[in-house]
Amino acid sequence: MTLTELMETLPYGPAPEAAQSALDWIQAHKGRFQLFIAGRWRKPASQEWFTTLNPANSQPLAEVAQASAADVDEAVKAARKAFASWSQTKGHVRARYLYAMARQIQKHARLFAVLETLDNGKPIRETRDIDIPLVARHFYYHAGWAQLMESELAGYGPVGVVGQIIPWNFPLLMLAWKIAPALAMGNTVVLKPAEFTPLTALLFAEICQQIGLPPGVVNIITGDGKTGAALVEHPGVDKIAFTGSTEVGRLIRKATAGSGKKLSLELGGKSPFVVFEDADLDSAVEGVVDAIWFNQGQVCCAGSRLLVQESIAEKMYAKLRARMEKLRVGDPLDKAVDIGAIIAPVQLQKIQRLVQKGVEEGARLWQPSWAVPAEGCFYPPTLFTDVAPASTIAQEEIFGPVLAALTFRTPEEAVRLANNTRYGLAASIWSEDINLALDVATQIKAGTIWINSTNLFDAASGFGGYRESGFGREGGKEGLWEYVKKTARAPRAKAVAGKTRAAQPAPAVPPIDRTAKLFIGGKQVRPDSGYSKVVYDPDRHPIGEVGLGNRKDIRNAVEAARGAFESWRKTSGHNKAQILYFLAENLSERAEEFARRIAQQTGQDGAAEVEAALEALFTAAAWADKYEGVVHNTPIRNVTLAVPEPIGVMGILCPDDQPLLALARLAATALAMGNTLVVVPSPLAPLTATDFYQVLETSDIPAGTFNLVTGERDELAKTLAEHDDVDALWYAGPQAGWALVEKASAGNMKRTWTLPASGPLPDLDETLRQATQVKNIWVPYGA
Catalytic residue ranges: 266, 300
Identify which of 629, 594, 660, 327 has the alpha carbon closest to the alpha carbon of residue 473: 629
The residue from 126, 195, 458, 482 that contacts ligand NDP (CB under 6 A) is: 195
Interface residues for ligand NDP in 553-612 (CB under 6 A)? Answer: none
Give the CA count within 13 Å in the CB-facing half-sphere of 509. Answer: 11
For the CB of residue 696, give the shortest distance to ligand NDP in the complex, in Å: 41
Calpha distance 757→343 (Å, rounded)? 48
Taking CB under 6 A as the binding criterion, the range among 162-170, 380-388, 443-451, 497-505 that sits at the site for ligand NDP is: 162-170
Does 624 participate in binding ligand NDP (rule CB under 6 A)? no
Between 172 and 612, CB nearer to ligand NDP: 172
Does 251 participate in binding ligand NDP (rule CB under 6 A)? yes
The residue from 61, 79, 175, 267 that contacts ligand NDP (CB under 6 A) is: 267
Calpha distance 733→720 (Å, rounded)? 14
Q: Label residues 311-331 b or e (16+ Cβ within 10 Å = b).
A: ebbeebbebbbebbeebebbb
The residue from 52, 264, 347, 385 that contacts ligand NDP (CB under 6 A) is: 347
99, 213 contact by CB (below 8 A): no
Angle at 502 between CA 497 and CA 508, to 5 degrees: 85
Q: What residue type is 188 in one-letter code?
A: T
133, 113 contact by CB (below 8 A): no
For the CB of residue 349, give the shortest distance to ligand NDP in the complex, in Å: 10
Q: Which residues make beta-bridge pairs with 474?
A: 463
Between 457 and 693, CB nearer to ligand NDP: 457
Does 23 participate in binding ligand NDP (rule CB under 6 A)? no
Does 215 participate in binding ligand NDP (rule CB under 6 A)? no
266, 243 contact by CB (below 8 A): yes
Residue of minimal CB distance from ligand NDP? 228
Between the CA of residue 11 and those of 123, 125, 319, 332, 733, what are the distances in Å?
19, 19, 21, 18, 68
Between 102 and 232, CB nearer to ligand NDP: 232
Does 243 participate in binding ligand NDP (rule CB under 6 A)? yes
Region at 84 (left for phi over 0; alpha for psi -120 to 50; beta for the rest): alpha
The residue from 206, 224, 593, 697 that contacts ligand NDP (CB under 6 A) is: 224
Q: Label residues 9-25 b or e (16+ Cβ within 10 Å = b).
A: eeeeeeeebebeebbeb
Q: Which residues make beta-bridge pairs with 778?
A: 450, 640
Interface residues for ligand NDP in 381-400 (CB under 6 A)? Answer: 397, 399
Taking CB under 6 A as the binding criterion, the range among 10-18, 165-173, 473-481, 766-774 that sits at the site for ligand NDP is: 165-173
Calpha distance 174→385 (Å, rounded)? 33
Does 69 participate in binding ligand NDP (rule CB under 6 A)? no
For the CB of residue 173, give the shortest distance to ligand NDP in the complex, in Å: 11
Q: What x-and-dash track marks residues 275-314 binding ligand NDP by CB under 6 A?
A: -------------------------x--------------
Q: What x-and-dash track marks residues 762-781 binding ligand NDP by CB under 6 A?
A: --------------------
Calpha distance 8→89 (Å, rounded)? 63
Taking CB under 6 A as the binding criterion, the range among 70-78, 161-169, 487-495, 617-625 that sits at the site for ligand NDP is: 161-169
Does 465 participate in binding ligand NDP (rule CB under 6 A)? no
Taking CB under 6 A as the binding criterion, the range among 32-40, 245-253, 357-365, 714-722 that sits at the site for ligand NDP is: 245-253
Does 225 participate in binding ligand NDP (rule CB under 6 A)? yes
Does 110 participate in binding ligand NDP (rule CB under 6 A)? no
432, 444 contact by CB (below 8 A): no
For the CB of residue 343, give the shortest distance to ligand NDP in the complex, in Å: 8
Q: Where does residue 7 rank: exposed (0-12), middle (13-18), buried (19+ CB within 10 A)?
A: exposed
Please tell me the count of residues contacting ligand NDP according to CB under 6 A: 26
577, 627 contact by CB (below 8 A): no
Does 244 participate in binding ligand NDP (rule CB under 6 A)? yes
- Helix residue spans in 571-602 (DSSP H): 573-589, 591-602
The residue from 42, 110, 250, 350 that contacts ligand NDP (CB under 6 A) is: 350
Binding site for ligand NDP (CB under 6 A): 165-169, 192, 194-195, 224-225, 228-229, 232, 243-245, 248, 251-252, 267-268, 300, 347, 350, 397, 399
